[in-house]
Chain A
């Protein structure tokens, strides 16, 4: 029996953190499952699931920590920082999403890994927006795209003069990119250049 196969799940919210248990080594997974069995059995006996609840929480934390120590994840010792030159009421601000959002008629993202991006005009009607991404729970975003890509609210902020302008074009990426080199060297700088040439002075990026 493959313990990783036992962790296959529907990818919905209740599994959002537990799914990272997959990153643990096999002997840790066996430890997890034997504890799970024990807590479930004792929970049933006493009709008290609080210990099981705490147990799952603890393992979620452990999986998170392990994930962050995994050298496969990109991390940096230093990074760029540019202070905002003037108040946002005088700035053109763009929106970027990694939620796999694209416009009907454009090529959908390849959910197996895709470093390309889509240009999303701000006046795109909601019903023409699509999502191609299977590594997060898209149920909320499919109901209301603003929870990953708040483009209607950005337009509102422009109307209220909180920002000078919501840029004409937003940038849609699909965040599952197991080999990010082409993103780092090619597509991300390309999107940034596009935004700069469009006079964008600040960006809000929603990650999923």
Chain B
């Protein structure tokens, strides 16, 4: 928009800073400053009682070479992210595709499918889940109908994480709503034109639908991925991190290190590793999407 003839000279309005002042204060005091503090703490030993004392790279060295809990919680979290996020997004997209064609009663379907998301990651939904997958819960009652003897899914090491993944997928409603509106914005004439050219439905999906909504897929993917990495309430209430640490996700480990053992330096190092990991994955997603994602118009920043 730098059009010289129209706008000869940009007239800055410093008063803008009055408007963003609250956020600016918040950014410096509650985001940037704490981030730098946590970077500093990650190189110290600190337990809230004594002042932090410098430990160099000790925390990081210990985490990477001599901390089996770290390795386990990271593996579990990665497994959770790798299963829950793609399945959630793919099912959200598929259902949105079905609902796109102005199906009658769409608002009823949409509301019903949104219901689990509405209950959200609350303590209440975690309590519900804990009962459903328990020894005498809904799942086993259902299996009993077919004569299959159930087990306590939550306290079996092999299936505990699966119950959490299923809950994550169960809440695919918000992604679906976003996909649905994205699909509705794809110009109809593109489909009509390709139909005349004799393109099949599948070809249309890959040649038109997918490229047109790719920015939204990217947006959803990144936000869901970050959210999944931070999963906390579910693991705390449904499985309590157990059995035998099989659902001891990263944020639970971080929480316990920081606030039950008060190893604040060590916890800060864990937090920075998580940040680096999330940044790395985000950058990778952006790098891949630079080739794949299709932007219709450049967006004004």
Binding between chains A and B = no
